[in-house]
Chains A and B, each alone.
Chain A
Amino acid sequence: MKLPTLREVGTEAKLLLIGIPVFIWTMIPIYHMFVFAISPKEDAFSGKLWPAHPTFHNFSIVFHQQHYFLRDFWIQFWNSTVIALAVGALTLFVATAAAFSISRLRVPGGRAVMNMALFTYFIPAAFLAVPMYRTMGTYGLLNNHWSLILAMVTIAAPYAIWVLKQASDKLPVELDEAATMDGATTLQLFRLVYVPLMMPSLVAVGTYAILLAWNEYLYAFLLLSKDTDITLPVALGNFLAADDSPWELLMTTGFIYALPPAAVYYAFKRYMVGGLTAGAVKS
């Protein structure tokens, strides 16, 4: 074993000088949330960096809905789950069909549709929220889960179509020709050749849509209002309505709410990095 030279030690020290602040900066809000979640009420406001008596009591209060703000926790959790899964499934259906049609069947006008979708993708979603809110009222869908599901599909689909189209343009044309030569109908081509080959991109797009819907605050807060209809992020925002809201319970609920998407993100990171970051910006 050879000792590191002074120069190597210097480089390592410089890297640490960047790495440690980056670590602290990244962790502060998350750590703060975690400390609140494991602090009993009296510890929570003492400004300590680690509670004197860490406890999981807050989690038990949340799971048993033992507080005014939390009386609908499980139904809100269920709402979030159902809406996220529905958005994932519908987005996959709409986007895969559209990408297949544009990229493989070369439907007339497909390029125009792709451009319209891209245009929607670039218009900030917060700008679309105001007219969308009114339109949902016109359709009579306000306070109905379908309003949020359809709104999120509208927002998720353009990017999904674009990513899937990029991926499917890379599949060789000969594949379609060979399948057609063997007498495959268009639907068989879609079901037996296209979908299996596109699986990695489909996983990426489905995950993207599910996370987008689970994390959405603005649309959920505009379109749903009844306590038993709203999703978890809206319920978290509602904690702010009162001055004496129990922060430690809010942070506990927030922590529970943040866990599933973080787990999904890390589980599908392989697909997300390959499928999404490559598609996000083409240099």
Chain B
Amino acid sequence: MAITLSASDTPSPPLSARLSPPQVWGIVLLAPYLLVFLAFVVYPVGYGLWLARQPASYVALYNDPIFARAAVNTLIFLVIGINIKMLIALFLSGFFAQQRPWIRWLSVIFILPWAVPSIPTILSVRFMLNPEWGVVNQLIFKFTGDDGPNWLNDPAVALAMAIGVHIWKSLPFWTLILLTGRLAISHDLYEASDVDGANWWQKFRYITWPSMQTLYITCTLLSMIWTLGDFNSVYLLTGGGPADLTHVLSTLGIRYLRLDQLSLAMASIVCAMPFVLPLVYFMMKRLSR
């Protein structure tokens, strides 16, 4: 009786005494990131969602033809652009897996688009495609005597060019990732299949693809999430033009911001969330295992 009384009488020790010193340090060391996270992620996102709360913004978005066009462009960018890019990357990873000195040198050069900043190279492409002074149309004129097309003035061509710039920039990265996946496959399997007389398609179908499909699908999904945020390829090549027909969701948000229509900017981002969040959830499941 006396023991239980004294136990309940003693005041519970302060928090610092209940935690072991390493745990106190743990909290202290985690604090800088938590502060950054609260101040620059939680608060902005909460504020943004608050701005996007009015149904009127979504009605305005729905009635804005530029938004519908941007949504379609984004889908084209993701579904067509990314799949083309990943197929090329898969193919090229097979090429770079060949053991030749010149292919090793080529792989060093091949990584350049990923190593250099995107702004100067995108501007370089933009100048190449200039209808009057660009090198492409000058060459067309020199060889055929005809004026070349006005590349960036046609929305379909301009969007295709933006996708091309995106592929140029990020193809090396994904090729490298898929190459590491390919090199992890045991060489014995290929030797055994050689003995059995398998052709290249059978080798790919029954050896390479089964061991790489998880990696390939993960890469494709990850690339889709990241490409949603690819602002530079479109903004610096076409500026969203001609006539705002080549916007994607990431440039559209900035366009509304520049026009001081902040609630529309946030609403357009909120509209993308039903597509982004499942992808993010899937990726987190994979990576936090």
Which chain B residue lies CB-closest to A263?
B115
Please indicate the chain B residues that have their CB under 8 angstroms from the CB of A47 in the complex.
133, 135, 138-139, 141-142
Please indicate the chain A residues that have their CB under 8 angstroms from the CB of B265 in the complex.
130
B interface size (C-beta, 8 A): 99
Known A30-B116, A265-B115; contact A97-B30, beta-carbon cutoff 8 A: yes
Give the Cβ gap from B36 to chain A, nearest Cβ, in Å. 6
Interface string of B119-141 (1 = CB under 8 A from A): 11111110110000101001101
Please pick, from A125, A127, A254, the residue contacting B120 in the complex, using a CB distance under 8 A: A254
Interface string of A110-136 (1 = CB under 8 A from B): 100111111110111111111111110
Answer yes or no: B59 CB below 8 A from chain A CBs. Answer: no
Give the Cβ gap from B226 to chain A, nearest Cβ, in Å. 7
Please indicate the chain A residues that have their CB under 8 angstroms from the CB of B25 in the complex.
101, 105, 186-187, 190
Which chain A residue lies CB-closest to B273?
A127
Complex formed: what's the CA distance from A47 to B219 in Å? 39
Interface string of B7-48 (1 = CB under 8 A from A): 000000000000001110111011011101101110111011
Known A23-B106, A32-B135, A261-B117; contact A130-B253, beta-carbon cutoff 8 A: yes
Please pick, from A22, A157, A265, the residue contacting B92 in the complex, using a CB distance under 8 A: A22
Complex formed: what's the CA distance from A254 to B126 in Å? 13
Which of A55-63, A66-74, A195-203, A273-281 interfaces with chain B?
A273-281
Which of B61-69, B97-105, B149-157, B190-198 interfaces with chain A?
B97-105
Answer yes or no: A46 CB below 8 A from chain B CBs. Answer: yes
Complex formed: what's the CA distance from A250 to B120 in Å? 8
Bin the interface of chain A by size: 35 or more
Question: A215–B37 contact, CB under 8 A?
Answer: no
Please indicate the chain A residues that have their CB under 8 angstroms from the CB of B124 in the complex.
29-30, 32-33, 36, 251, 254
Known A124-B225, A128-B45; contact A94-B32, beta-carbon cutoff 8 A: yes
Please indicate the chain B residues that have their CB under 8 angstroms from the CB of A237 in the complex.
119, 236
Please indicate the chain A residues that have their CB under 8 angstroms from the CB of B176 in the complex.
273, 277
Please indicate the chain A residues that have their CB under 8 angstroms from the CB of B32 in the complex.
93-94, 97-98
Please pick, from A27, A107, A124, A187, the residue contacting B109 in the complex, using a CB distance under 8 A: A27
Please pick, from A25, A98, A119, the residue contacting B284 in the complex, using a CB distance under 8 A: A119
Answer yes or no: A209 CB below 8 A from chain B CBs. Answer: no
Question: B33–A100 contact, CB under 8 A?
Answer: no
Complex formed: what's the CA distance from A273 to B111 in Å? 11
Which chain A residue lies CB-closest to B228?
A124
Question: B48–A33 contact, CB under 8 A?
Answer: no
Known A32-B135, A134-B262; contact A23-B276, beta-carbon cutoff 8 A: no
Question: B214–A283 contact, CB under 8 A?
Answer: yes
Give the Cβ gap from A108 to chain B, nearest Cβ, in Å. 7
Interface of A, helix, strand, loop or mixed by DSSP: helix
Known A105-B23, A127-B250; contact A26-B269, beta-carbon cutoff 8 A: no
Complex formed: what's the CA distance from A282 to B283 in Å? 10
Give the Cβ gap from A52 to chain B, nearest Cβ, in Å. 15
Answer yes or no: B71 CB below 8 A from chain A CBs. Answer: no
Answer yes or no: B254 CB below 8 A from chain A CBs. Answer: yes
Give the Cβ gap from A71 to chain B, nearest Cβ, in Å. 20
Please indicate the chain B residues that have their CB under 8 angstroms from the CB of A93 in the complex.
32
Interface string of A175-214 (1 = CB under 8 A from B): 0000000000111001000000000000000000000001
Complex formed: what's the CA distance from A128 to B128 in Å? 32
Further pairs besides A126-B251, A250-B123: 14, Cβ < 8 Å: A29-B121, A33-B124, A45-B133, A101-B27, A114-B288, A118-B287, A118-B288, A134-B262, A153-B36, A154-B36, A154-B40, A215-B118, A222-B257, A254-B123
Interface CB pairs A-B, < 8 A, 10: A97-B33, A105-B26, A107-B26, A117-B37, A120-B41, A124-B276, A131-B48, A131-B51, A253-B120, A278-B180
Q: B residues bordering A, Cβ < 8 Å? A: 21-23, 25-27, 29-30, 32-34, 36-37, 39-41, 43-45, 47-48, 51, 92, 95, 98, 100, 102-103, 106, 108-125, 127-128, 133, 135, 138-139, 141-142, 168, 172-173, 176-177, 180-181, 184, 214-215, 218-219, 222, 225-226, 228-232, 235-236, 239, 249-251, 253-254, 256-257, 262, 265-266, 269, 272, 276, 279-280, 283-284, 286-289
